[in-house]
Amino acid sequence: MTTTALGRLHPADLARTAVAGLRTRRMRAALSALGIAIGVAAMVAVMGLSASSQAGLLAEIDKLGTNLLTVSPGQILGGGGAKLPFGAPGMIARIGPVETVQHTGKTKANAFRSPYIPSINTNALTVNAASLDLPAAVRTTVAQGSYLNAATAEQPVAVLGSAAATRLGIARIHSGMRVWVGGQWFYVAGILNPATLTPEIDSSVLVGYPAAQKYLHFDGHPSTIYVRAQTDQVQDVQKVLAATANPKNANEVSVSRPSAALVARVAVQSALNGLFLGLGAVALLVGGIGVANTMVISVLERRSEIGLRRALGATKGNIRLQFLAEAILLAAIGGAAGVAMGTIATAIYANVKGWATVVPPLAWAGGLGAAIAIGAVAGLLPALRAARMQPTEALRAS
In tens, the pLDDT along 173-185 reads 999 999 999 999 9
Residue that is last in its domain, among 256, 276, 302: 256
In tens, the pLDDT along 323-358 reads 788 888 888 888 899 899 989 998 998 888 888 888
| 53 inside domain | yes
What is the pLDDT averaged over residues 36-40?
Answer: 84
Same domain, 57 and 76: no
What pLDDT, on a 0 to 100 scale, did the predictor assign at position 273?
62
pLDDT at 310 over 80: no
What pLDDT, on a 0 to 100 scale, did the predictor assign at position 108?
94
Using DSSP's 3-state secondary structure scheme, residue 156 falls into coil
Among 129-133, 266-270, 294-298, which range has the highest average pLDDT? 129-133
Letter for the amino acid at 281?
A: A
| 171 inside domain | yes
| pTM exceeds 0.75 for this model | no
Distances (CA, A) of 32 to 39, 110, 288, 384: 12, 61, 8, 20
Same domain, 222 and 301: no
What pLDDT, on a 0 to 100 scale, did the predictor assign at position 5?
41
Give the list of residues 6+ apart from residue 65 with CB closer than 8 angstroms, or none: 139, 228, 231, 259
Same domain, 87 and 107: yes
| 330 inside domain | yes
Top-confidence residue, 13 or 291: 291
| 314 inside domain | yes
What pLDDT, on a 0 to 100 scale, did the predictor assign at position 1?
47
Instruction: For 303-362, give the DSSP string.
Output: HHHHHHHHHTT--HHHHHHHHHHHHHHHHHHHHHHHHHHHHHHHHHHHHHHTPPP---HH
Residue that is last in its domain, among 229, 256, 283: 256
Same domain, 239 and 269: no
Same domain, 285 and 251: no
In tens, the pLDDT along 109-134 reads 999 999 999 989 899 999 999 999 99
| 4 inside domain | no
What pLDDT, on a 0 to 100 scale, did the predictor assign at position 6?
41
In tens, the pLDDT along 198-225 reads 999 999 999 999 999 999 999 999 999 9
Using DSSP's 3-state secondary structure scheme, residue 267 falls into helix
Give me the chain's average pLDDT, please.
Answer: 84
How many structural domains is the chain composed of?
2
Same domain, 20 and 138: no
Of 139, 127, 141, residue with least CA distance to 191: 141
What pLDDT, on a 0 to 100 scale, did the predictor assign at position 3?
46
- Under the banding of pLDDT at 50, 70 and 90, the label for residue 226 is very high
What pLDDT, on a 0 to 100 scale, did the predictor assign at position 177?
95
Residue that is last in its domain, among 256, 279, 302: 256
- Percent with pLDDT over 90 in the chain: 42
Same domain, 175 and 315: no
| 1 inside domain | no
Same domain, 250 and 315: no
Q: Give the Cα-Cα-Cα angle 136, 141, 146 (nearest 5 degrees).
A: 105
pLDDT at 257 over 80: yes
pLDDT at 271 over 70: no
| 313 inside domain | yes
Same domain, 57 and 72: no
| 391 inside domain | yes
Which residue segment(s) compose the domain that 154 sits in? 68-256
- Under the banding of pLDDT at 50, 70 and 90, the label for residue 189 is very high
Same domain, 89 and 151: yes
What is the pLDDT averaged over residues 160-177?
Answer: 94
What pLDDT, on a 0 to 100 scale, did the predictor assign at position 397?
54
pLDDT at 79 over 70: no
pLDDT at 167 over 50: yes
Same domain, 104 and 48: no
Same domain, 92 and 235: yes
